[in-house]
Chain A
Amino acid sequence: MAAPGILVVEDEQPLARILAYALGNDGYRVETAGDGIECMNRIATFSPDVVIMDIMMPKLDGVETIKLLRQNQLNRDLVIVALSARCSNADREAALAAGANVFMKKPFAIARLLESVEQLLASERSP
């Protein structure tokens, strides 16, 4: 079975780059998208197992993108990790309500993120 695919949706180029690097280092197939719209375009061809989604993005923001993703039955089992610099309870609730599996505050330790992704993928497969 192929390595799990991860789509990193992040408008900050440096951050997208380092996430792609770190995840790739861990053996995942990684692609990046600069905003929500690009994410929607990429998802069809790439069909990842995990989407790492920044919330504050231009054009289509993270919450809206997650909602769009979840509308599609095919993406029901998709693991979505939301990342945001705004981290009030309301922001967190909004992201989770839209359909994110995990909400992570920025800044975060890369190791934490990798750990979360791994756990989520494991729990996704076990049941």
Chain B
Amino acid sequence: VTTVGQTLTNFRFLVRSVRWVELAITALIVFFARAVSHLDFPILPVAIVFGASFLWNLAFWYAGRRHLVEERGIEGVRLLMWSWVVADVVTNLLLITFTGGTSSPFLFFLVLPVILGSVALGRPGPSYGVAAGSVAGLAAVWAMDRAGSIPRFRSYPAGSDSMFYQPDIAAGIFLMSVAVLSLLVYTIFRFRPNFFIFQEAFREGRFRIHSFRAGDIQELRLEEVEAIGPEDLLEEVVQNLTTNPSVVFSAAMVFPAGDDTIGGVPGNSWHQGLTRQRIVSVTRRQVIPTWSEFRSERSELFRHLRYAETGDLWEGPFAVLRKDGLFPHFEDAENYLATPVAQDGRTVVVLIVGVRNPVRDRSEVVLHLLNVAAQLKPLMVAETRLSQMRGELSALHDQNESLSRVNRLQSDFVSIASHELKTPLTSIMAYTDALLMHADDPAFGERKEFLRVVRDETDRLLRMVNRILDFSAIEFGQRNLKRTRIEMRTLVEDCVTTMRHDLDRRQVRVELNLPVALPRVEVDPDLMKQVLLNLLNNAWKFSPQGGCITVAAREAASAIEVVVSDQGPGIPEDEVENIFKQFYRVHRDGADTPEGSGLGLTIVRNIVELHGGRITVDGGVGRGATFTFTIPKEQCINDRPETVLGDLVHRPEFTHLMKLLVRMVADYMDCKIVSVMLLSADRKQLFVQVAYGLEEEIVRDARVPVGEGIAGRVVASGRPMLIENVEDIDGFSGPNNPQYETSSLISVPLMMNDQVVGAVNCNNKVTGEPFYAEDLSLLVTLTEKVTLALARALEFEDSRDTLQRTVRALQALVDLHGTETRATKRAVRYAMELGRRMGLTRHQILALQYAVVIHDVGMTRQRRDLLRRRGPLDPGEVQEVRRHPGEGAELVEPFLSADELEEAIRYHHERMDGTGYPHGLSGEHIPLVARIVSVVDAYDSMTSPRPYRRTLRPSEAGSELVENAGSQFDPDVVRAFLDILAENGELSREDYMHLKEGERWLRPASLS
């Protein structure tokens, strides 16, 4: 992605050499002249001047290179150049001061290399800059010296105005200058080919700063290469290449580790255009140098490879311009072109092509390069295939993970089974032993007591066995849900009755707080009772004598929320993460640990998740424990007449996707009712296929003829509709069903492959407000993305993978909504407005709107405890968090129709100064959408309540933005954003003016 000068760093040895040779020779001359000509300038200051100049160069080269060139790109290159100019001028100034002014001979030597160097560098701007700057600086020094404004030591012999008048000195100086010249010429020509490409790159403005680390290649293991398996690919490419008449031969080399040969090994390299005999007769060593030779600094090929090392083929190929004996057996080839193929920043394969035609000038080389590069296109395919294989590898890795999870589970299981099963068994055995011993003793008084213990322990054993069986049935997915619609109250009351005996024993009360209007839930009653019983039992265990357990429920947008809380000791914060793990039990000092399998809460979580819900717990010692779980309100009817989609509807993944769709829409749109209607096969009427929060009767019976009703009209016209008040529409007297609480609704056509197949409807905003235009466009975007993904997934019938990724993506979006990181509606509105002001196209604005909502989707793949963590993260965890933009972009890949969206997700943590992640882009290299998302997201999260810090006021958040404009945020975006905030009344006039006063940040930081 970094397009800034790769070439330059590869010339560091060249530039460095020229400068150091120059410096060393100047120093030699100065001191030599002093020795032979009885000059009396002081040695120490002059030596210090040279030393300082050397250190300056060294410092700028080593310390400055990384910060200047690699991080700031071409800006850095300029800075580096100017640092040399400054160094030259200062050195000269001081030398003249100490050695006797401009009438001394040394000035000549100081100008000479500068001019020579710039000539050698050719036309490129920066080198002229160096030369011109130095000459100008020297001219200024000369003028100042003439005017007498530079103090100087008088160091030449008395009686003569200048040392030039002394013939022996003049002759010595002449000889020295010849020496300097030849050294410089040698240095330049020694690195001539590099110069050549350097100039080329400069001229085309194609800088690619790229430090190629030899270590990277060295570390490559042969096994890795084999795992990638490029054989067939490369063969194909190599064969393709030979169709070019000018290509003499081509070879693909795979880099193995160590110092072995890198090519010529069957299976590791491929040749075309060579006779079989030739290949056989040519030893490996002769075909291609050994690895150590290959990567040695002296190897022409390797040096070229260094600036060609990149996965980008059009930038990558390079030419070896001379026949240099590298491939002595390919006499026909005049020139070699080669291109490396990199994977994850490491060169995996090098493709070498011999070209027959002699190449005389550079333009011809470029032409050849283009020619060959066109032939290399199949390698692009190779790249995709490689990444596919990477995907497969990671799938294998996941499989391994889950296997080892099973292993862990097994060992936990053994442990728990040992303890929890054997403990009652031990008692039973011991008591029966005792009973047996006294079997014939009629006076044995404890018989009854002992038998009761045996009985109790048997009960306990049975409970444990049942739990383990339940657990394994759910854990290993052997149980299907038998859903029925049922009142939550019935379930809770049943459970309380079951527990009555235990509750009474410890005088624990259960308080129910269930609204009368609570919709019925569609659950498996047996399993849901297990959830409630487990939670109640848990609460009961930890409740104090005479305590109170509260069971409450409420209706949220897309789900019913049930809360079970107790007045027990509570769960320590640091245990919250573990509490749902198998066999985990909270340890408390000074309290009896009640009996427990360590499975109860795991079973609870599994059942809740099986129903599509989520369970959380609030921790805190002394506050009691509060468990909250949700039951989604989705309903899906499968026994339907035929739809336009035919059999598609009956595929389980279709149902799954549709359910996820309604849930996602309900979550993101913040509305209580969502339904997906499909067209019947005859295209005459619509019926509800999947619904969220709708009464069952409506779901079952609703039929809307096409052209009538809102959904019917939407389907007929194919255009989305936003109804602010349904009573305003002709022919509608009001909400046609009492379940619709508000008279505002949205309906969007469901399009698949450019055909209307149904509609998505939203009613009842949770806030009770009507829907707005941005709601409509959000719904349009969401629907579009989902149907696109759906169509794509269904297109490839066999592609379970595509489907799984789609499901995963949707699931992640639904999960995202449950986290704190979600964006507010307001943020979406501002982002769209910003997009408009920054001149984005309509298409880009839509992508932006979507991006603001889901940019953190990668977070859902992170460990939950990292997201909750308040304290500092260790470096490994930081790395993990830093992966989320990339993971997010990959996750929602099935939805990506727009590059902007992917860019926005991937780059929203980049910073203007290039210190962000994941790629460290800077300035204009960060896509505009990502810059906008970054600003809006920062403002939104600063002004939203978060548990780990206080909520900022708009003015405070605004000044944070201003403070970081240029370093983190794009100043232009921040400026436009402040305007929007002020216009929306979010910022007061005074605050706005105050922020605007800080003009400092208005200057774009990317220009220095």
Contact = CB atoms under 8 A, between A and B. Distances in A.
B340 to A, nearest CB: 52
B433 A15 contact: no
A18 B430 contact: yes
B330 to A, nearest CB: 65
A85 B421 CA distance: 9
Interface string B584-606: 00010100110000000000000
Contacts of B453: 14, 17-18
A108 B426 contact: yes
A10 B282 CA distance: 81
B434 A58 contact: no
B34 to A, nearest CB: 82
Contacts of B428: 107
Nearest to B430: A18
B457 A14 contact: yes
Interface string B401-428: 0000000000000010011011101111
Nearest to B453: A14
Given A85-B419, A86-B419, A87-B418, A12 B427 contact: yes
Interface in A86-127: 86-87, 106-111
A40 interface: no
Interface string A15-28: 10111011000000
B422 A19 contact: no
A14 B456 contact: yes
A22 B423 contact: no
A56 B419 contact: yes
Contact of A15 (B418, B426, B437): B426
B423 A15 contact: yes
Nearest to A12: B423
B880 interface: no
Contact of A14 (B415, B418, B431): B431
A14 B456 CA distance: 10
B346 to A, nearest CB: 43
B302 interface: no
A14 to B, nearest CB: 4
Contacts of A111: 433
Interface in A1-20: 12, 14-15, 17-19
B791 interface: no
B446 interface: yes
A110 B430 contact: yes
B426 A107 contact: yes
Query: Which interface residue of B425, B433, B437 has the most chain A CB atoms within 10 A?
Result: B433
Interface in A28-69: 56, 58-59
B314 interface: no
Nearest to A91: B418
B429 interface: yes
> Per DSSP, are chain A's interface residues mostly helix, strand or loop, or mixed?
loop
B426 A59 contact: no
Contact of B593 (A58, A86, A106, A107): A58
A110 B433 contact: yes
A85 B426 contact: yes
Contacts of B446: 21
A58 B434 CA distance: 27
A17 B453 CA distance: 10
Given A21-B446, A106-B422, A15 B434 contact: no
B275 to A, nearest CB: 66
Give the interface centre of A15, A87, A108 by most chain B CB atoms within 10 Å: A15
B109 interface: no
B243 to A, nearest CB: 67
Contact of B434 (A56, A87, A108, A110): A110
Nearest to A22: B434
B434 to A, nearest CB: 6
A12 B426 CA distance: 10
B61 interface: no
B992 interface: no
Nearest to A19: B430
A56 B419 CA distance: 8
Contacts of B427: 12, 14-15, 18
A19 B425 CA distance: 14
B418 A85 contact: yes
A65 to B, nearest CB: 16
A107 B419 CA distance: 10
Nearest to B449: A17
A107 B431 contact: no
Contacts of A110: 429-430, 433-434, 437
Contacts of B450: 18
A28 to B, nearest CB: 15
B460 to A, nearest CB: 10
A121 B628 CA distance: 57
Nearest to B460: A14
A22 B426 CA distance: 14
B419 to A, nearest CB: 5
Contacts of B430: 15, 18-19, 22, 107-108, 110
Contacts of A12: 423, 426-427
B313 to A, nearest CB: 57
A87 B419 CA distance: 10
Nearest to A56: B419
A21 B450 CA distance: 11
A85 B427 CA distance: 12
Which of B423, B431, B453, B456 gathers the greatest number of chain A CB atoms within 10 Å? B423
Interface in B186-244: none
Contacts of B593: 58
Nearest to B587: A58
Nearest to B450: A18
Nearest to B438: A25
A21 B437 CA distance: 12
Contacts of A59: 589
B430 to A, nearest CB: 4
A56 B583 CA distance: 14
A107 B437 CA distance: 17
Contact of B429 (A56, A85, A87, A107): A107
Contact of A18 (B425, B431, B456, B589): B431
A109 B433 contact: yes
Given A17-B453, A85-B423, 18 more contacts: A12-B423, A15-B430, A18-B434, A18-B450, A19-B430, A56-B419, A58-B587, A85-B421, A85-B422, A86-B419, A106-B423, A107-B426, A108-B426, A108-B429, A108-B430, A109-B433, A110-B430, A111-B433
30 contacts: A12-B426, A12-B427, A14-B427, A14-B431, A14-B453, A14-B456, A15-B430, A17-B453, A18-B427, A18-B430, A18-B434, A18-B453, A19-B430, A21-B434, A22-B433, A22-B434, A56-B419, A85-B419, A85-B421, A85-B422, A85-B423, A86-B418, A86-B419, A106-B423, A107-B425, A107-B430, A108-B426, A108-B430, A109-B433, A110-B430
In the A-B complex, the 9 residue pairs with the closest CB atoms: A85-B422, A107-B426, A110-B433, A107-B429, A106-B426, A18-B430, A85-B418, A14-B427, A86-B418
Interface of A: 12, 14-15, 17-19, 21-22, 56, 58-59, 85-87, 106-111
